[in-house]
Amino acid sequence: MPIDPTLPYDDDNVFAKILRGEIPSKKVYEDDWAYAFHDINPQAPTHILIIPKGRYVSWDDFSARASDAEIGGFVRAVGHVAREAGHVEPGYRLLANVGNHGGQEVPHLHIHIFAGRPLGPMLAR
């Protein structure tokens, strides 16, 4: 069910629970700014989610409220995970869904990394 990204952060969302270790996840990478783990319902041979450690609903919220250090750390973590997973060649796709029209389901900012096969058109036709 898509969410309203203008709502306040919900500490009971599933990714907040993953960050607190209350529900399990398959960890790919972690540093001071970011946590990366495998999507539970992969849409490509590689489907990794990367989330900031801070309490941000969406890219909109993050880019408006996060510190330069949080933004820098998170963006570098996304690149690091993609490089370490070996996807720079032959390529990969990043995706951040925001709000209702974006189809965002979990109200904690997450970047999807899709890789491992040709990913087709950017949007469903």
Query: CB–CB of 74/34 below 8 Å?
Result: yes
40 near ligand 5GP, judged by CB under 6 A = yes
30 near ligand 5GP, judged by CB under 6 A = no
60 near ligand 5GP, judged by CB under 6 A = no
46 near ligand 5GP, judged by CB under 6 A = no
119 near ligand 5GP, judged by CB under 6 A = no
Query: CB–CB of 99/58 below 8 Å?
Result: yes
Question: Which residue from 34, 51, 62, 97 is in contact with ligand 5GP, where contact means CB under 6 A?
Answer: 97
Catalytic residue among 38, 87, 101, 110: 110
Active site residue 80: no
Question: Which residue from 1, 41, 45, 122 is in contact with ligand 5GP, where contact means CB under 6 A?
Answer: 41
Q: What is the 3-state secondary structure (H, E, C) of 54-75?
A: CCCCCHHHHHHHCCHHHHHHHH
Closest CA to 56 of 11, 18, 103, 94: 11
Task: Give Cα separations from 88 to 25, 72, 82, 118 (angstroms).
Answer: 24, 20, 7, 13
Binding site for ligand 5GP (CB under 6 A): 14, 25, 37, 39-41, 97, 103-106
